[in-house]
Amino acid sequence: MTDTAVVAPPGDASLPLDPRGSLSPEVARRLAALVAAAPGRPRRASNAPFDGSVLGEVPICTAEDVAAAAAQARRAQEEWQQVPLAERGAIFLRFHDLLLDHQERLLDIVQLETGKARIDAFAELVDAALTARHYAHSAARHLRSRRRQGVLPVVTRTVEHARPKGLVGVISPWNYPLTLATSDAAPALLAGNAILLKPATETPLTALAAVDLLYEAGLPRDLFRVVCGSGSELGRPLVDAVDYVMFTGSTATGRVLAEQCGRRLIGFSGELGGKNPLIVLPDADPQTAAEGAVRACFSNSGQLCISIERIFVVDELYDRFVAAFLDRVRALRLSRALEWEADMGSLITREQVETVQSHVDDAVARGARLLAGGKARTDVGPLFFEPTVLEGVKEGMALAREETFGPVVALYRARDTAEAIARANDSDYGLNASVWGSASAARPVAAALRAGTVNINDGYGAAWASHDAPMGGMKASGLGRRHGAEGILKYTEAQTVAEQRLVPLAPAGGMSQQQFARIWVGASRVLKRLPFLE
């Protein structure tokens, strides 16, 4: 077994990385000042996964801070909902340009705080820009008032309007802290809402850097407030303060939040966990499928809800696919440099490394075979882990069904396509799936998979980046959708305004109730034969 390639960082690997001014102490203090916390609050350090150095500190908010920030945002929302949609959209088009203009600085900050490779940092920056652009252009189409058929043609004029919910709470994760701090907020803001954001405790500075650019683009500061602290302390106060919650994170936490929202009778949307499958069909090219599978499994070091953790290959292609796949896995480059040559970066925390190692060790101890990787790479950095491939993973192993959320994938040989589909669907999760083969063979397979998104000849990016289409999970992988029409309409209340003209919907002019009923029966028989009238 050959080790994964390593690209050493410039200079002495034992020394802290130079933040190159992108996240200097002055910048970190300026970003921390954007947190909606009362003076004198305790502060929490944000540490660089690459070397453990302190990047900055942010104040830790209390329930009182959440309530105060919510009140500020609500006051701002009353004015914001009156701002013409074209003006709201112009802010997000400026935000799109600012993201691209400041990309080098932002990529440094993302890498320093998350430990990810630069190409993965770039992916989330581009996603934030594309989401902003998409909804800036499409919001008017989704939010426009629509004529609906009234109870009686002509005399009943019925219109459906999309009204803002009011204050939307966004709880964003550490694995994509730049895009998920703003991309879920963008459609909510365009729909006329205010935002109360709680970013992950591991990556607050990245989220604040993104929000800072929104302010620079012209978004009123009180309209988008940020509170920092642990979910256990701020989760319930946030739910109690808002009118809707958008959450990205674990299924366990999502269930808790959904229950809390349900008790308040407010809406909840959550993209939760995944144990995502990839299927290689008999007519797939094994080299192409292997190359795509490596990206699908190990982008962002596997710390991605929609990345692949299970690969099912039909028997006749299995050996050729595995050989090609392993060649590419062993060539992946690990690095802690703020440069472009790395294929994989670090994991985020010591706890994440321990989870990945425990899943691998448990599988090997129970009889699984390690084909590549399998161990932490402290020679590169304290939280690095090799891209890891196993086969022979069976029921009872943690790796078989639990989400690992790291650079680990299990390979399975399937007798035929039917078995691959059945085993892919045999999971509590249903977030994302990938199918490799000809379009004619892959499309029926995609239709048979119980996943919110299915990618043909791609791992996850094609569906995720198609922002005009909904994205979210089935089964235990989530509730609701981001992107597409639902991604903005979920932040609105549907209001029906019906105007009755000429005649009332009641007996009139001396008409008896029985006569009124006979007229309605006759009208119903006539209307049954008429087409739908808008």
Angstrom distances, CA of residue 359 to CA of 2, 303, 370, 394, 397: 21, 14, 12, 12, 8
- Is 305 a residue of the active site? yes
Residue 271 falls in the annotated catalytic set: yes
pLDDT of 18: 56
Phi and psi angles of residue 157, each rounded to the nearest 5 degrees, phi first: -105, 115
Instruction: Give the pairing of strands 432-436 and 429-430.
Output: unpaired
Domain with CATH 3.40.309.10 in the chain: 276-469
Find out if CATH 3.90.79.10 is the number for domain 26-272: no
Cβ proximity of 177 and 207 under 8 Å: yes
Distance CA 36, CA 227 (A): 6
pLDDT score for 29: 96
Q: What is the pLDDT of residues 333-348, one digit of tens each?
A: 999 999 999 999 999 9
Q: Are 333 and 342 in contact (CB under 8 A)?
A: yes
Q: Which of 442, 352, 334 is nearest to 405 (CA)?
A: 352
The two beta strands, 43-47 and 54-59, are antiparallel
The pLDDT, as a whole number, for residue 528 is 81
Among the listed residues 124, 271, 309, 403, the single catalytic one is 271
As a whole number of angstroms, the distance between CA 466 and CA 127 comes to 10
Predicted TM-score of the model (pTM): 0.95
**pLDDT tens, position by position, 189-237:** 999 999 999 999 999 999 999 999 999 999 999 999 999 999 999 999 9
Domain with CATH 3.40.605.10 in the chain: 26-272
Instruction: Single out the catalytic residue among 305, 309, 386, 486.
Output: 305
CATH superfamily placement of domain 276-469: Aldehyde Dehydrogenase; Chain A, domain 2 (3.40.309.10)
Q: What is the pLDDT along the chain (534 residues), one digit of tens a residue?
A: 446 666 554 434 444 455 557 899 999 999 999 999 999 999 999 999 999 999 999 999 999 999 999 999 999 999 999 999 999 999 999 999 999 999 999 999 999 999 999 999 999 999 999 999 999 999 999 999 999 999 988 899 999 999 999 999 999 999 999 999 999 999 999 999 999 999 999 999 999 999 999 999 999 999 999 999 999 999 999 999 999 999 999 999 999 999 999 999 999 999 999 999 999 999 999 999 999 999 999 999 999 999 999 999 999 999 999 999 999 999 999 999 999 999 999 999 999 999 999 999 999 999 999 999 999 999 999 999 999 999 999 999 999 999 999 999 999 999 999 999 999 999 999 999 999 999 999 999 999 999 999 999 999 999 999 999 999 999 999 999 999 999 999 999 999 999 999 889 999 888 999 999 999 899 888 888 776 654
**pLDDT recorded at residue 389:** 98
Residue 152: per-residue pLDDT: 87
> Would you tell me how many other CB atoms lie within 10 Å of the CB of residue 97?
15
